[in-house]
Structure 1
Amino acid sequence: MGVPSRCRLYKDLPGLVAASYLPGGDLADALRAAEGWSSRAKICLSFLARVRLAPLYVLIVIGIDVILHHAVSAEVRSQIVSANSTNVVNLQNHRIWTLVTSAFVLDERAGVVAMIPLLLLLSVAEVLWGWRRLLVVFFVSNAVTSCLVYGLLLTGVRGGWLGGAITMANDVGTSYGSHAVGGALALTLPVRARRYLVPLAIVVVVLPLLNGGTFTDVGHLLAVLLGFLAGWQMRRRPLAGRLRRPALLRADQTMAYSFDDVTQARAALITALRQHRPVRLDDAAVAWSDRADRIHVQETRDMDAIDGTLAGAAWGVVLGTFVGLPMTGLVIGAGAVAVVARWHDAGLSDTTVERTMHALPAGRGALLLLTDPAGQPALTCALAGTGGTPVPEVVPERGAAGPESGRVTG
């Protein structure tokens, strides 16, 4: 049975998520509802149980730093730092492991007290995002920034604008990753102060450049910009960072609710997203039809061309570094992945969304969720007060398989 061609499906930028949902919103809600400082302190302590990766990473960095400054000679320490630096010489000779190991080695001795700000920054990020996203933002941004700096230095040396000595300069430490995490936090903190943190983060990295900064300062600026992009993506696609692939669409995995208007559907989406930790929520989408009978969809997982461009550029510059052409890799990666993302349909399929909307009266909004059956009771309970009406089940069409073949029956 074909899909009635009543209208065309339009994918809109999920501004509703950017405006209403931020990672860590559950913590912000709990703190607002608490009465007194003691209650707020207890809530903060309970959320600190999420912190695992941040202290482990800081302890490893401190341990390596102690060994380099107390267990080996200055000559050996210099050799180790140089071997793990993301400088032009190392990356030109395909020492790609330095993109990871450089984040564990410090060029200068750092005391334990100096590591406290790093620990606090990473711990806040882990509480708000979870350890997986912290891992991706910190280490991917460190690698991408290092490759971008490498590409700029390589271009400068080949063009005669920079001296050859800069190709062997040490480029190690935690600063690229921590600047990226700081930039991402500035956009994702669930508080109004973020409107001041974004310009402040820019000022902090631009001022050194105005005073004759080094290539490391350029790297800090690039890292903060990458952090902004990462934070922006978290707000636009809060479920896109899941490492686990969404399950195939089945009747027992899809929930759909109908609402009087799109505003109610958006509010219900925020409620569902707040359950993303205790519930295995694979995908979520809001759909509605306008006066011209066109269906609009705002998704939380499926990548569009913008997402594909950003992801492709990031991985392209890293892969391009393998062959000494980071900027070429950036351009090719951005274009190729953008095309793939434009046509690839992940999570809830467009067909399923369209069939669901065809089953509803014109003008109503809908919330569709792709979730494990075990998590549906919790989602049903959370959505009970949102004013939604369950939509008849979405089941696979006979003789077809996979997420592209869903239809609405009732």
Structure 2
Amino acid sequence: MAYVRSAPGTYLWLAILFVTTVALHHMTPRFEEDFLRQRSTNIDELSSDPVRVLITSAMWIDGHWLPYAVLYTVFHAPAERWLGTARWLAVCVAAHVLATLASEGALLLAIRGGAAPRSAAGTLDIGVSYALAGVVAVLAYRIAVPWRQVYLAVVALVYGVPLALSVTFTDFGHAIAVLVGLACRPLTRGRGKPWNPKETLTTLRG
């Protein structure tokens, strides 16, 4: 319980995702699709009510809730405890908003250039993965060198390989979110000494 209280924003957000996921399971497939599309950060919805959809799109997930419980505990909770709720939230918002605008902006250019159909402007686009990618990236500054480079190499593989193989607008958004997270380094200053895995292992062995 103390672990949950130390990261209130993370677990409040996770609780909201749990409730909204349960709600989705009680909707018919057709109603669910229309319902989520109205809360999507696609071009059509961003053009009409950007603030509303940027907020509501982060309250719904298209899939199972349990994996997010694991990911939030592994990444969001440590980041919130380390940075504090306000700074952690700033990273989440920056990554979610900027990656969304960048990916949808790229899609808009593709539509105007004829590389994507006009119907793509109304595609379903919800979820929390951009915020997660930003937090995963900013956590690199929590780790001491040279372990930080190892962590960053793994992050680059996780988010870079899909982008190189498929080049979807979502993968592009994830890459932007990672860059946003890395650009949030000023928010990490004064947040204590970086964690050194070697020192931790030495302490445990002693």
Q: State whether TM-score is above 0.5.
A: yes
* TM-score interval, smaller chain: 0.7 to 0.9
Q: Percent identity?
A: 25
2:98 — aligned with what?
Answer: 144
1:61 — aligned with what?
Answer: 17
1:135 — aligned with what?
Answer: 89
Q: Which runs of 5+ in 1 are unaligned?
A: 1-44, 240-272, 275-410
Hey, which of these two has a bigger chunk of helix by percent? 2
Q: Which runs of 5+ in 2 are unaligned?
A: 193-206
- Greater relative contact order (CA < 8 Å, ≥ 6 in sequence): 2
Shift of 1:114: 4.5
Runs of 4+ in 1 over 3 A off after TM superposition: 45-49
Shift of 1:51: 1.6
TM-score (norm 1): 0.44
Shift of 1:50: 2.3
Q: Which amino acid aligns with 2:7?
A: V
1:395 — aligned with what?
Answer: none
- Pick the aligned partner of 1:164 from 98, 118, 143: 118
What SS is found at the alignment partner of 1:96?
Answer: helix
Preserved CA contact (<8 Å) 1:141 1:227: yes
Greater radius of gyration (CA): 1
CA distance in structure 1 between the aligned counterparts of 2:54 and 2:67, rounded to whole angstroms: 26
Preserved CA contact (<8 Å) 1:81 1:106: no
Shift of 1:117: 1.8
Q: Which amino acid aligns with 1:128?
A: W
Matches within 5 A, 1:246-261: none
CA distance in structure 1 between the aligned counterparts of 2:82 and 2:4, rounded to whole angstroms: 10
- Pick the aligned partner of 2:144 from 165, 169, 191: 191
Residues 1:48 and 1:85: Cα distance change in structure 2 (over 3 Å) = closer
1:74 aligns with 2:29: yes
CA distance in structure 2 between the aligned counterparts of 1:48 and 1:113, rounded to whole angstroms: 17
Matches within 5 A, 1:214-253: 214-230=168-184, 232-235=185-188, 238=189
Residues 1:179 and 1:113: Cα distance change in structure 2 (over 3 Å) = closer
Shift of 1:46: 7.1
Preserved CA contact (<8 Å) 2:87 2:187: no
CA distance in structure 2 between the aligned counterparts of 1:110 and 1:181, rounded to whole angstroms: 21
Matches within 5 A, 1:1-400: 49-70=5-26, 72-107=27-62, 109-186=63-140, 188-192=141-145, 193-230=147-184, 232-235=185-188, 238=189
CA distance in structure 2 between the aligned counterparts of 1:74 and 1:147, rounded to whole angstroms: 28
Preserved CA contact (<8 Å) 1:100 1:143: no
What SS is found at the alignment partner of 2:104?
Answer: helix
Shift of 1:158: 1.1
What SS is found at the alignment partner of 2:127?
Answer: coil
Preserved CA contact (<8 Å) 2:104 2:169: no
Shift of 1:61: 0.6
Cα RMSD after superposing both structures: 2.1
The total of aligned residue pairs comes to 191
Preserved CA contact (<8 Å) 1:47 1:127: no
